[in-house]
Amino acid sequence: MQAASSEALQGIADLAVKKYHLPGIVLGEVSEGALTTVVSGLRANGYPDKVESEDQFHIGSCFKAITSTLTAIYVEKGLINWDTTIGDAFSSENSDINAARKDVTVEE
């Protein structure tokens, strides 16, 4: 989803907080090299402190989804393929790859 302005991005943040019952959210958009951030909601349910754009958020298990998405983008761009192994992908960067995982493919 692309926001036309910071006001539109703010509307998306406000809607997400309300629709998904989130305590708070920070959204960012990069357009033409410029970062726009907006905030909505509170730092935690039951507390009065509002979210600020500098607040840190724990992404927890989301990292698996982020890694999967980025890997699929690399496959789509032809930089790697589903049969690329961990050893192939990181051989020049790390000679300490666990031997039991060296032949695991992206698909696996």
User: Is 33 found in the same domain as 79?
Assistant: no
User: Is 38 found in the same domain as 71?
Assistant: no
The rounded mean pLDDT for the chain is 89
Which residues span the domain enclosing 18?
1-57
User: Is 97 found in the same domain as 50?
Assistant: no
Distance CA 104, CA 98 (A): 11
Residues 52-74: tens digit of each pLDDT: 999 998 877 888 898 899 999 99
Please tell me the pTM assigned to this model: 0.57
pLDDT band at 93 (very low <50, low <70, confident <90, very high): low
Long-range Cβ contact pairs of 71-78 (< 8 A, separation 24 or more): 71/106, 75/106
Residues 33-51: tens digit of each pLDDT: 888 999 999 999 999 999 9
* Apex 92 CA angle, 88 and 102, nearest 5: 40
User: Is 66 found in the same domain as 44?
Assistant: no
Distance CA 70, CA 13 (A): 24
pLDDT at 1 over 50: no
